[in-house]
A = this chain, B = another copy of it.
Amino acid sequence: MAMTGSTAPLAPHPDRLLPTDPSVRSIARRLYRHVRELPILSPHGHVDPRLFVEDAAFPDPATLLVTKDHYVTRILHAAGFSLDELGVGRDDLTEAESRSIWRALCSRWDVLRGTPSRYWLESELSEIFGVEQRPSAATADAIHDRIADCLAKDEFRPRALFQSFGVEVLATTDDPADDLSAHRSLREDPTWTGRVIPTFRPDRYLEAGRPGWVEAVDRLGEVAGIDTGDYTGYVRALEERRRRFVELGATSADHSHFDVRTDPLDPGEAERIYRAARADAATPEETTALRRHMLLEMARMSTEDGLVMTLHPGVRRNHHTPTFQAHGSDTGHDIPVRAEFTEALRPLLERYGTHPNLHLVLFTLDETTFSREIAPLAGFYPSVYAGAPWWFLDAPEAVRRFRGAVTETAGFTRTSGFIDDTRAFCSIPARHDMSRRLDSGYLAGLVAEHRLAEDEAAEVAVELCTTIPRGVFKL
C-alpha cells in the first residue's frame, strides 16, 4: 500500500472533514452546499495592506508559503531545522535558498500529518497552484517549479487572488502610529474595488513596562498632533488615532495582553503612574495596573466611537529568549497559559456590559474557558460574543470542541463567525472553507440527533458566514 513520494497523488477529497457516518455526511453535504461559494468576510487577520497597493508578483514559493508562516516553521524547528535554515526573518531569498527551504518542508511532510497547516497547504497546493503530487523529497523540486511558474503569471498577483478567492472584506492589523497610507491609497485608487480595512491594535502603547514605550508614545503624540507628555494627552492621542482609523474604515480595535483584567485606577493615580513610567521610575506592578486600567479605557472609547473590541489574551510571548534575540517575535515560541475572564472583565462589564455600542469578542487559547466562562458571559451580556477558535485551536477537532463547549450555553448567534487571523494570504480560502465544512458537519450532527430541523440548520450555516460576522464586527 505504501506509495513512493513521487507517485502518491495530492487530491483533496470533496467530502473532507465532513462527518464519517454516511447518514450524517449526506446532511452535512447538503448544508455545505449552501455556504461553499459564499464570499469571504475576514474581520481579523495580519495580511499587509501594501500587498494590494503594490500588487507585485509574490517573490518565490518559500517566501510565500514557508518562511513567514510560524505555524509551519515552528514544527520544522521542532523536527530539527534551525530557523536560519528555514529563512525565518529573511525577505530576500535567492532561488537556491527558496528551493532548499522548500525541500526541507517537503522532505519532512510527515511531521505535519494531522495538523491544520498540512491541511491548508494541501488545499492551497491543489486548488491554487494545481499541484497533483504529494510533497516529498523526490517531488520537492517539481512542485517548487510549478509554484514559481504560477507566481510569474498575472493571475497570481495579490489583487487577482483577492478577487479569485472571493474576498469581500479583509481587515488588516495596524499600529496606531501607522500613517495608514496604504489604506488611503487603496481607498483612493479607482482601479481597486476590494474592501480592505485597518484594525486599531494599540498593545505596545498600553504596556508602559516594555522597552521602547516612551519613544512609542512620543511618536504616537506626533502622529496624532497631541502632546503625550501627560496622561490626559496620552488618552486624547489614542482617541484621536482611533478616530482616524474609523475614518479609514476600521470597525475593530484588537488587544492582546497577558491577561484581560480591567481594574480601574482613579485619574490621579493613572496620571502619577504614567509620569513615573515616562521617567522609567514605575514598578512592574504599576505598569501592569496602568495597562489594566487602559484596557478599561479602551472599552470606554469603544462605547463612544463604536469600534468592536476583540481580546486575544493569555500567551507568554517569546518564550525562548535566545530565539527572540536572534530572530525577533512571531517566530513560533509564543506559548499559551491559563486564562481567566469572569473576574477579570467584571469591572468592564459592570460599566459597559449592556451599553448598546459595545461589542466585545472574547478569544482564548485556554479551551477550559469556553464552557466555563466565555459561553456564560456571551449568554447573558448583549455586548459579549464568543470568538471563534484561534491560533493553536483553529483546527478541525478544536473547532468541534469549541462548538460542543459553547453552543449549549450560548447558541450560535452569540459566537463571532470565523476569523482567519493569518499572515499567510494564500491560506485564507482554505481556512474559511475548513470552517464552513466543520460548521456544516456540526450542524448535521444536531439534525441527525433530531435536535434541530434541517431548514434551521441551513439557516444557521449561512448566517455563520454572513449576517453573524457582519453584525458582530460591524462590517
**Bound form: Cα–Cα A319–B323 in Å:** 42
Bound form: Cα–Cα A372–B315 in Å: 10
The answer on a CB contact under 8 Å between A460 and B113 is: yes
User: For window 441-465 of chain A, which residues contact chain B by CB distance below 8 Å?
Assistant: 445-446, 448-456, 458-460
Q: How far apart are the CA atoms of A444 and B454 in the complex, in Å?
A: 26
A393 at the interface (CB under 8 A from B): yes
- Chain multiplicity (copies): 3
Q: Which of B16, B340, B454 contacts A1 (CB 8 A)?
A: B454
Contacts A408-B397, A455-B1 given; indicate if A336 touches B392 (C-beta within 8 A): no
Whether B379 pairs with A372 at a CB distance below 8 angstroms is: no
Contacts A337-B372, A372-B338, A404-B401 hold; do A452 and B414 have CB atoms under 8 A apart? no
Instruction: Evaluate contact between B350 and A376: CB separation under 8 angstroms.
Output: no
Q: For residue A1, which residues in chain B have a CB less than 8 angstroms away from its CB?
A: 454-455, 458
Whether the Cβ atoms of B350 and A321 lie closer than 8 Å is: yes
> Which residues of chain B are near A459, meaning CB under 8 Å?
2, 110
CA distance A365 to B369 in the complex (A): 11
Are B75 and A408 interface neighbours, CB within 8 A? no
A463's closest neighbor in chain B, by CB?
B110
Contacts of A112 in B (CB 8 A): 411
Beta-carbon contact of A336 and B342 below 8 Å: yes
A319 touches B332 (CB 8 A): no
The chain B residue sitting closest to A316, CB to CB, is B342
A199 in the interface (beta carbon within 8 A): no
Instruction: Give Cα distance in the complex from A12 to B452, angstroms.
Output: 10
- Does A412 make an interface contact (CB < 8 A)? yes
A319's partner among B115, B334, B349, B450 (CB-CB below 8 A) is B349
A160: CB under 8 A from chain B? no
Chain B residues whose C-beta falls within 8 Å of the C-beta of A22 in the assembled complex? 23
Asked if A316 meets B74 with Cβ closer than 8 Å, knowing A450-B17, A453-B8, the reply is no
Given A24-B20, A367-B368, A414-B78, A408-B396 contact (CB < 8 Å): yes
Question: Counting CB contacts under 8 A, is A428 at the interface?
Answer: no
Q: How far is the CA of A31 from the CA of B256 in the complex (A)?
A: 43
Chain B: CB-nearest residue to A385: B78
Determine how close the nearest CB of chain B comes to the CB of A117; give it in whole angstroms.
9
For residue A262, CB closer than 8 A to chain B, the reply is no
Q: Which residues of B contact A380 (CB under 8 A)?
A: 74, 77-78, 319-320, 332-333, 335
B452 touches A335 (CB 8 A): no
A338-B372, A404-B401 known; A8-B382 Cβ under 8 A: no
Q: Which residue of B lies closest to A376 (CB)?
A: B335
Q: CA–CA, A239 to B318, complex, Å? A: 32
Contact B455 A78 (CB under 8 A): no
Interface centre among A116, A335, A342, A450 (most CB of B within 10 A): A335
Tell me whether A322 and B336 are in contact (CB under 8 A). Answer: no
Assembly CA distance A2 to B367 (angstroms): 34
Across the interface, do A409 and B115 meet the contact criterion of CB distance under 8 Å?
A: yes
Are B80 and A382 interface neighbours, CB within 8 A? yes
Q: Cβ of A184: which chain B residues have Cβ within 8 Å of it? A: none
B18 and A21: CB pair below 8 A? no
Chain B residues whose C-beta falls within 8 Å of the C-beta of A280 in the assembled complex: none
CB pair B453 A134 closer than 8 Å: yes
Q: Which residues from chain B contact A371 at a C-beta distance below 8 Å?
A: 367, 392-393, 398
User: Which residues on the B side are within 8 Å of A80 (C-beta)?
Assistant: 382
Contacts of A334 in B (CB 8 A): 376
Residues of B within 8 A of A75 (CB): 379, 410-411
- A93, B369: Cα distance in complex, Å: 38
| CA of A3 to CA of B454, assembled, Å | 10
- Shortest distance from the beta carbon of A297 to any chain B beta carbon, whole Å: 20
- 19 pairs, A vs B, C-beta closer than 8 Å: A1-B455, A2-B455, A2-B459, A13-B450, A20-B445, A78-B381, A113-B446, A114-B451, A320-B349, A323-B354, A333-B380, A335-B342, A335-B380, A336-B342, A337-B343, A338-B368, A367-B368, A396-B408, A397-B404
Please name 15 further chain A to chain B contacts, defined as beta carbons within 8 Å, in addition to the given A320-B381, A371-B393, sorted by A numbering.
A15-B450, A18-B449, A74-B379, A78-B378, A110-B459, A113-B412, A115-B409, A119-B451, A319-B377, A332-B380, A333-B381, A335-B377, A337-B373, A367-B371, A395-B408
